[in-house]
Structure 1
Amino acid sequence: MKNTWALFLVSAFRKTSVILLVMALFLNTTNNVYASSCQGVISGAGGEKLPIGTSSHVIKIDMSSGYNPNSEYYLKIKATSNTDDEAQTSSFRIDQNKTYPGGISVSNKVVTWTVTDNEALTAAPMAGEDDIHYVFLYDSGLSGSNRLCDVGTYVTSKNNTGGQCSLYVYQTKNSKKCYAPGCMDVTSNTATVEVEGLEAADGTPFNGEVRFVVGVDGWFKVVQDKKTNASGGKASVEFTSDDTGKHTVFVEEVRAGSNFKFPGCEAIFNLEAYCDTNMCVDVRTDISQNATIRDFELCEQINDGAERGKCEACFGGTSSGTPGVWTAIGCIPAKPENIIKTFITIGISIGGGATFLLILAGAFRLSVSQGDPQATKDAKEQITAALIGLIFIIMSITLLRFIGVNFFHIPGFGT
């Protein structure tokens, strides 16, 4: 009985071993054993950064050692390590010197790929300052995931200058256009993005298909990705967003092989939860990243002509020749010593005004006291306290000037 069980176990072990061996051989010959990095000398995928506006990029791989000459291979460029194909070659063999469609050629087992796909040569709108492109080698003879190895990476940069384009974003409320950077909110159904000044490579106004992408909070969420035709360098789209906070809009050409003089333009604006009607700014303002901030933009919000003139004079230079900052209390010069002088003057004015009002109030109480000893006493004490307060203000200025000049050397106290 024991011998029978022993023979049975030996037979079962042999059969199981044979099955496992066959499976191992099958898997070894048909499935990919993924290597992290490709063998051989590689150029064009070593992390280099391509200049903005690059129209082609050459990647070379020396496959003379460590590769099967009987296999068919192909290359891919991806936006990330696992998804989003940006470019792909046709299949090629390394045992034949040959030029293949799509910019791939083989000479003495050295593979050269000239990449011309626009998507693989430009930074995606949702990318940050730099966009990394991943290059992979595949073996057509492998089943399943037939990625053989990582060739490497290279980097493209986004053109943040925006060229000469101008971007305007607005909402219409009560038949009135309210422009960014003024208050815009999510309660309105739609907003409009307008772009102007798009130029072709020859400097003429661009005509062709463009893409508008609107994202929230650094492209955490895309709320609009829409294509439209530009005419005379101008185009516009409408979008909706239920998200408050910072939004980014990016405009680029759709057609592969960029014909833009500048690859694209970008702007940032905010959407609030609610904007009151009187918060609407109806001044059409360019918010693109290449836009210059106008000095008198604040002054344009003032309706009174005389006050607007004072505001513009403040930004352009006060009577002393020093540019200032326009505030609700008037123009404050930008130099530290002038700021201190201004605040001292304002403080004296407030103190003097308060003293004058207290004296008037005390005099009024004295006149209506009608001989009441207590009321007369209180009125006199109020007038006396106001005068003492005025004396303290004058003395404090003298003390501040002494401390500021002799001890702390604060600018503005010595003049």
Structure 2
Amino acid sequence: MTATVTKPQYEIKDIALAPQGKQRIEWAGREMPVLRQIQERFAQEKPFAGIRLIACCHVTTETAHLAIALKNGGADAILIASNPLSTQDDVAASLVADYGIPVFAIKGEDNDTYHRHVNIALDHHPNIIIDDGSDVTATLVAQRQDQISEIIGTTEETTTGIVRLQAMFNDGVLSFPAMNVNDADTKHFFDNRYGTGQSTLDGIIRATNILLAGKTLVVAGYGWCGKGVALRGRGMGANVIVTEIDPTRAIEAVMDGFRVMPMIEAASLGDVFVTVTGNKHVIRPEHFAVMKDGAIVCNSGHFDIEIDLKSLGAQANEVKEVRNFTQQYSLPSGKSIIVLGEGRLVNLAAAEGHPSAVMDMSFANQALACEYLVKNKGSLAPGLHSIPTEVDREIARLKLNAMNIQIDSLTPEQIEYLNSWNAGT
């Protein structure tokens, strides 16, 4: 007789942490009015009735509200962590105990556990995937092609994930639609610039307790995340240097008042380094070799490969933790390099991630992107799709209303003028 295999219902650190987590989830909700309005509508309309959904996200207080909104909308949802160091264990416990949402996430989980959780999620046979870095989608198309026919679509909100999805499509393996949440105006203008900017510096300060004023801060990459880090760094009194590979962004950084130079030149000048490029080995052995003693290196890009930590570890005589999420690599030259958060997202490894008010818009985009996929099931072509402009603007409108901010409307005369080619001047 064949034994019955019982699937795990959740895998978290400690269910007893739930009361603390629930309190923090409720606190975050005070700053998330847009998602709250969407959640209330979902609860009435049930747009995800009969839909199996998995979300691979940073398990934080803000993500909790997205998961609750999806469940209230009728989704049979599972949540797993998208990063080993970003999980808030008390939040995971509350989602399980108080909201009945299966969670597979433990802060500090190793890579084997992470990949096992990815496969547990795929065992759910999802119709929709909410991805953060496209690991789940990549695993699906590489290892579980028999499940592709069950997929309505996926959503992605990181630059790294969008690059991977485009590569999958170019290789002919992305055979279903993917919503590009990352490039929605109400996501990257605010989440990337204001969220990453503030939370990255928050992570650096919590991990080190250094004074940024007077320090030289090197920001690798001047996309929206890099702009946010550079602007916030300057606002706290740091002298900011930007490194770039894109000439247009480099000019923009110069015009914004920052010094721009190659990393090999910046490496000897910087006190603190932040990578936000989405690429690998942005800081390499030749850069470590010329850094100051005690230089602080961290990453705010999605994956932990932006800093070549394997080569740094191979050079080091000793690696020791000198503070929480702060490791000191002692080199044969006698100097040391400080690495924060094991090279993973410093804002989530050493702090609490983006403020709730910013994630309110990002997760509103995620929720509405999922609804859009369901409403347009079977009619969207494979590949990347932008968030519809009307959805983007509706999120902005809801946010403004929640902030009690009013804006102008076009008059009939102005509408006629904008839609006419012969009105002239």
TM bracket, shorter-chain basis: under 0.3
TM-score (norm 1): 0.22
Structure with the higher fraction of residues in strand conformation: 1
Quick check: which one's helix share is greater? 2
Larger Rg: 1
Q: TM-score, normalised by structure 2?
A: 0.21
- Higher RCO (CA 8 Å, separation ≥ 6 residues): 2
